[in-house]
């Protein structure tokens, strides 16, 4: 590809979150062709900077890469259509909410389908990873995550598919693997899943405790890494420090902040994808990692007695 050629990226789906993707792709100086369901949105999206708006995925011919941001219920089908263009595809998480479909996609495109796990680019998560790898908190024992809120703007997946992928991807980034589901409980309201607590184990005996829910007052995002020497906590969706507190009995309980500053995760992951289209390394997560994420959620749901 000539260095003066502007990259063309297809964006399938441009709802509330897709608009942010469009904004950041344009900031990265690529041409964006948008596919939406309703052609009446054309003036709005052109005003935002889209170079082309269509309702037909086939009109994406000639793009260098594709980003998929459609609802979970349509995602596997849309990804399948996007893969027909033989270009790299970057899809919103989760890969799908069906393990059979996830396996099929992984087989179909093992090297050019990637999942947008934005928390793997979060400065706070990367700081937690550095604290673990440097030994500054001692031997890591486990990870505890909380992702709860009151209500949801998503009408498509329940909270397990909406929230759990984030926390499992955090575990993947920090510890290099997604743990195996061992136990879980879930609760429903009027037939809808509104919360789940699960326990998972890594192959080296580290543990993971997860809690997600949409029936909890307030908005809570928390990641705790428990080590033999200290506990490191990221206490918010966008905070610029990790708090490290000694865990040894009899030690000084004074906490110390570790700065965690950097680019917003969505911009970082889209930058990685665009650079990959220009010949750079692939972004995280791979389709195989995305499939492992789907498997863990499916297993937690099964353990809680939820339908697949």
* Residues 45 and 133 occupy one common structural domain: no
Q: What is the pTM of this model?
A: 0.95
Give the separation between CA 141 and CA 160, rounded to whole angstroms: 25
Query: Apex CA 6: angle with CA 120 and CA 45, to 5°?
Result: 75
Give the separation between CA 94 and CA 56, rounded to whole angstroms: 23
221 domain-assigned: yes
Per-residue tens of pLDDT for the chain, all 308 residues? 445 689 999 999 999 999 999 999 999 999 999 999 999 999 999 999 999 999 999 999 999 999 999 999 999 999 999 999 999 999 999 999 999 999 999 999 999 999 999 999 999 999 999 999 999 999 999 999 999 999 987 767 899 999 999 999 999 999 999 999 999 999 999 989 999 999 999 999 999 999 999 999 999 999 999 999 999 999 999 999 999 999 877 766 788 899 999 999 999 999 999 999 999 999 999 999 999 999 999 999 999 999 87
Which residue in 208, 203, 112, 214 sits closest to 163, CA to CA?
A: 214
* Residues 81 and 196 occupy one common structural domain: no
* Residues 86 and 179 occupy one common structural domain: no
* Residues 109 and 220 occupy one common structural domain: no
* Residues 67 and 133 occupy one common structural domain: no
291 domain-assigned: no
Contact 294, 96 (CB under 8 A): yes
SS3 92: strand
Q: Regarding beta strands 31-35 and 65-68, do their DSSP bridges make them parallel or antiparallel, or are they unpaired?
A: unpaired
- Could you tell me the CATH number of the domain that includes residue 20? 3.40.50.720
Burial 213-247 (b: 16+ CB within 10 A, else e): bbbbeeebbebbbbbeebbbbbeeeeeebbbbbbb
2 domain-assigned: no
DSSP string, 148-176: EEE--S-SSS-HHHHHHHHHHHHHHHHHS
Give the separation between CA 71 and CA 199, rounded to whole angstroms: 27
* Residues 259 and 273 occupy one common structural domain: no
pLDDT at 4: 64
**Count of structural domains, the chain:** 2
* Residues 206 and 218 occupy one common structural domain: yes
13 — alpha (psi -120 to 50), left (phi > 0) or beta? left
- Could you tell me the CATH number of the domain that includes residue 143? 3.30.360.10
* Residues 28 and 58 occupy one common structural domain: yes
Which residue in 164, 158, 148 sits closest to 292, CA to CA?
A: 164
* Residues 74 and 130 occupy one common structural domain: no
pLDDT at 253: 74
253 domain-assigned: yes
* Start-to-end Cα distance in the chain: 44
Measured N-to-C along each axis, helices 265-277 and 16-27 cross at an angle, to the nearest 10 degrees, of 60
* Residues 128 and 198 occupy one common structural domain: yes
Half-sphere exposure of 55 (CA within 13 A, CB side): 6
Instruction: Give kind and range of the element (H or E) at residue 234.
Output: strand 230-234
Give the separation between CA 228 and CA 40, rounded to whole angstroms: 58
Which residue in 46, 66, 50 sits closest to 58, CA to CA?
A: 66
Distance of CA 223 to the CA centre of its chain: 15
* Residues 129 and 199 occupy one common structural domain: yes
Give the separation between CA 272 and CA 172, rounded to whole angstroms: 18
Instruction: Give kind and range of the element (H or E) at residue 76.
Output: helix 72-83
* Residues 147 and 273 occupy one common structural domain: no
Question: Structural domain of residue 134, as residue ranges?
Answer: 119-263+296-303
């Amino acid at each position: 590809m000539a260095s003066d050629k502007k990259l063309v990226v297809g964006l399938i789906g441009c709802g509330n979150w897709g608009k942010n993707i469009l904004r950041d792709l344009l900031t990265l100086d690529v041409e964006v062709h948008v596919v939406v369901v309703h052609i009446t949105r054309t003036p709005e999206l052109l005003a935002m900077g889209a170079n082309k708006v269509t309702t037909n995925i086939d009109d994406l011919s000639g793009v260098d890469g594709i980003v998929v941001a459609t609802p979970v219920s349509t995602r596997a089908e849309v990804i399948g259509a996007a893969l027909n263009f033989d270009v790299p595809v970057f899809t919103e998480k989760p890969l799908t909410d069906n393990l059979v479909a996830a396996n099929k996609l992984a087989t179909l495109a093992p090297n050019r389908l990637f999942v947008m796990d934005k928390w793997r680019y979060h400065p706070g998560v990367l700081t937690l990873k550095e604290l673990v790898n440097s030994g500054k908190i001692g031997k890591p024992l486990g990870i505890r995550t909380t992702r709860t809120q009151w209500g949801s703007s998503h009408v498509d997946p329940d909270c397990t598919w909406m929230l759990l992928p984030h926390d499992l991807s955090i575990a993947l980034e920090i510890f290099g693997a997604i743990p195996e589901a061992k136990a879980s409980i879930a609760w429903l309201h009027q037939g809808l899943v509104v919360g789940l607590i699960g326990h998972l184990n890594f192959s080296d005996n580290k543990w993971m405790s997860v809690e997600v829910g949409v029936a909890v007052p307030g908005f809570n995002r928390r990641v705790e890494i428990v080590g033999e020497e200290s506990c490191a906590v990221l206490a918010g969706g966008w905070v610029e420090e990790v708090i490290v507190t000694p865990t040894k009995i009899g030690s000084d309980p004074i906490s110390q902040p570790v700065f965690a500053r950097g680019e917003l995760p969505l911009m970082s992951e889209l930058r990685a994808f665009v650079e990959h289209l220009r010949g750079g390394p692939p972004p995280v997560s791979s389709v195989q990692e995305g499939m492992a994420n789907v498997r863990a959620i499916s297993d937690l749901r099964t353990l809680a007695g939820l339908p697949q």
